[in-house]
Chains A and B, each alone.
Chain A
Amino acid sequence: DGGITQSPKYLFRKEGQNVTLSCEQNLNHDAMYWYRQDPGQGLRLIYYSQIVNDFQKGDIAEGYSVSREKKESFPLTVTSAQKNPTAFYLCASRSRVQGNLYEQYFGPGTRLTVT
């Protein structure tokens, strides 16, 4: 079964704790992304990685960290420095359709609640 897996589906943490969200894909995609979604807002890019051992900050990287040690995995750590971490977090990967045409596919998301 091919796809993007995010775990857990729901995550609860106390304020001040770091938490790591998992994202795994078996689609052999090179590029992977982390987005944050808040109610009534679009998706905002946190970090992305085009290749193993390389990643770049997106629009809202402060308070987050990532690693890309394997092609299949792109975990996101929400640190205690993130001021408002409660949100729905979405992982995505990108496939080449043809030529320079790519498509992004999303995982099912992790809803993080910090109290």
Chain B
Amino acid sequence: QQQVKQSPQSLIVQKGGISIINCAYENTAFDYFPWYQQFPGKGPALLIAIRPDVSEKKEGRFTISFNKSAKQFSLHIMDSQPGDSATYFCAASRLQSGNQGGKLIFGQGTELSVKP
């Protein structure tokens, strides 16, 4: 119930293409879904996040699509660039302050490589 399943494990995309990473969750109490980007040897950086009251959120080339009924959410990277090559993690959490301090449950990660 606490798991977040992420796919694919690795992804190779040509420059200018669309990168799509998918996540699925089981716990319907989750109400916050962030995506993190991590470069080798660095800590993850918050990229974009969504609440379940909207079906889509866009920030620049990055878009989260959220399907509440299917309990799935995905990250789309438009016009992918070599500089986007990194590991991407989805996560889920319950925002209620009394619940384990906003503990994030992370997916397994997707290693994205954008070829020039």
Query: Are A43 and B101 closer than 8 Å at their CB atoms?
Result: no
Name which residue of chain A comes closest to B94, CB basis.
A100
Determine whether A56 belongs to the interface, using a CB cutoff of 8 Å to chain B. yes
Partner of B43, one of A40, A102, A107: A107
Query: Are B49 and A103 closer than 8 Å at their CB atoms?
Result: yes
Query: Are A40 and B9 closer than 8 Å at their CB atoms?
Result: yes
A105 to B34, CA, bound (A): 11
Query: Are A104 and B95 closer than 8 Å at their CB atoms?
Result: no
Chain B, 20-37, CB within 8 A of any chain A CB: 32, 34, 36
Determine whether B12 belongs to the interface, using a CB cutoff of 8 Å to chain A. no
Query: Are B43 and A106 closer than 8 Å at their CB atoms?
Result: yes
Query: Are A42 and B102 closer than 8 Å at their CB atoms?
Result: no
A94 to B102, CA, bound (A): 9
Query: Are B95 and A109 closer than 8 Å at their CB atoms?
Result: no
A45 to B51, CA, bound (A): 22
Determine whether B97 belongs to the interface, using a CB cutoff of 8 Å to chain A. yes
Determine whether A41 belongs to the interface, using a CB cutoff of 8 Å to chain B. yes
Beyond the given A42-B108, A100-B95, please list 14 additional residue pairs across the A-B interface where CB-CB is below 8 A.
A6-B43, A33-B101, A40-B109, A45-B104, A101-B51, A101-B95, A102-B95, A104-B34, A104-B102, A104-B104, A106-B45, A107-B43, A108-B43, A109-B41
